[in-house]
Every structure is written in C-alpha cells, then in structure tokens.
Structure 1
C-alpha cells in the first residue's frame, strides 16, 4: 500500500470520530435546549444533522426520524422552514433568557450585547418561512391564522 494512503486513512478515521463527537455533543445540547431557557435547540439539531451526514448516514437518518428532533430538521431541509409552534417555543425561551439577563446583569455593555443577540435570534427565527399546511408534521387549527 502506498505511504500516502496509509497516512490519510487514520486521519479520515480520526476525523470521522470528531464528526461523531460533534454530532452527539450537539444532540445533548439540543435536548438540554428543549428545557433550558436561552439555550437554543434548533441550531444544535441542524449542526448535529450536518456533522452526522459527514460521518454516519445511519445516524443522520436516525436524527431525521427522531420523534422530537426530526420534525424541525425535516422542515429545515425542505426549505429552511420553521413551524409556528417552534417559533413560539423559541420566543418563550428567548423571553425567559431575557428576563434572567435583565435580573442578573447590570453592566450596560454586556447587557446591551446580550439583548442585541437575543433580538437578532428572534428576528432570524421569525423571518424564516413556515412550512405549507400539507408539509407540516402536525396539524393545529390555531396555527391557520
């Protein structure tokens, strides 16, 4: 076997483990973000799916079919959509984080920076299109308005 091939094989194997580690770290952070205010969920799901697609098609497929993480991922893959329910949940989390920040910090520069980041996150979330009714994994009459 040529020396160059021997050298690249372990590197790609190590890199594959790095992708696996990143995938599982993001899955853990996404699940934590589902219950902790201020910690995003969707971005970690997207990063996990991206890194899983680089190391394990089976893991990527598991993410796509996951009961909690899969619908957001499939919506994003089908056109960068974020459904209204997820937008409201993200907004509630950002509001909770904002309340914690307002009660915890008094330094104006730090406070202003954090609030600008939260506002930017809200703007990004609410600027994304919503999936069409037939593409939604769930149907809710309250969201038809």
Structure 2
C-alpha cells in the first residue's frame, strides 16, 4: 500500500497486510530516534538550562556561588547539547575557569580562596540557624572535607 493508501505491487520492501481477500503491501515505516532518547536529552537540556540560569542570577548577587552551577549546567549540556557546552566553555568571563576544571581539574588560588570563604560562611550560617546538634557537626565535617578537597586541587602553571 502506498503512503496515500492505494495498493502497490510488492517491491521487496514493506510488510504484507491482509485485507479483503487480496494481499496488499504496507510501505516501510520511517524510523525516528527513540522517544525515550529524546526525552532523556530534553531532560538533560532542561537541567542544564536551570543550573546555568541559577548561575547567571548568582553572578549578580554577592556571596552566592556561580561557578558550581555553571559546572553542573555544563555537565548536563555535555549529555544533551554540544553547542551550548561549547558556548559555556568559550564564555569570556567564566569559560577559563570552567575549562580549567573540566580539562585539568585545576583551580586558581583566587577561586580556591573564594570557594572556601563562601563555604565557611555557609557553615557559620548553618551553625547559627540549626544550633549545636549532631546534624550541624555532620554538615561542618562535610564542608570541611570539601574545603580540603578544593585546597588540594592543583593550580594552573603561570604562562611566561
């Protein structure tokens, strides 16, 4: 059967369709990418967009982290949208820091100090709000471990 519904002779393609006493042939189906793959790709693109948007908003609010949200957005776009991933890596303001982390797991000293100061402020705020409880000590230990991890990351070598 043609795409318009009229019978066509068998050409070696398609599949037989029984109907009305004569054998008709159905045109081969067009294969599209699996809907689940498209759904997963859209989900990663949405996650990337949300985290980059949070990072952009945080860029204009003092003391809120920007780079970590851009890194999460970059990771999500790496799974769904290579063009957006490349745009983030080529960004004039944040591209260098993102590229250092993605390619070499390096951080500048200024970035380490800023991150650890921000983490310290968050730890102090958590202690102030929650008080001296077990969960506070667990959060402090986790944030302290995070600061040690960040401090242990290599710094880029200066270009001469």
- TM-score tier after normalising by the smaller chain length: 0.7 to 0.9
Equivalent in 108, 112, 127 of residue 137 of structure 2 = 112
Greater strand proportion = 2
**Structure 1 residues 10 and 130: alpha-carbon distance in aligned structure 2, compared to 1, 3 A threshold:** same
- State the TM-score, normalized to the length of structure 1: 0.77
Q: Which residue of 2 aligns with 1:83?
A: 108
Q: Secondary structure at the match of 1:133?
A: coil
What are the residue-to-residue correspondences of 1:1-145 with 2, within 5 Å? 5-6=31-32, 9-34=34-59, 35=61, 37=63, 40-134=65-159
Q: CA deviation at 1:82?
A: 0.8
Q: Which structure is richer in relative contact order (CA contacts within 8 A, separation 6 or more)?
A: 1
Greater helix proportion = 1
- Root mean square deviation of aligned Cα: 2.4
- State the TM-score, normalized to the length of structure 2: 0.70
Residue pair 1:87, 1:125 contacting (<8 A) in 2 also = yes
Q: CA deviation at 1:129?
A: 0.4
- Residue ranges of structure 2 left out of the alignment (5+ in a row): 1-27
- Residue ranges of structure 1 left out of the alignment (5+ in a row): 136-145
Structure-2 separation of matches of 1:110 and 1:41: 26
**Structure 1 residues 22 and 73: alpha-carbon distance in aligned structure 2, compared to 1, 3 A threshold:** same
Structure-2 separation of matches of 1:98 and 1:70: 28
Would you say how many aligned residue pairs link Structure 1 and Structure 2?
132
**Structure 1 residues 90 and 32: alpha-carbon distance in aligned structure 2, compared to 1, 3 A threshold:** farther
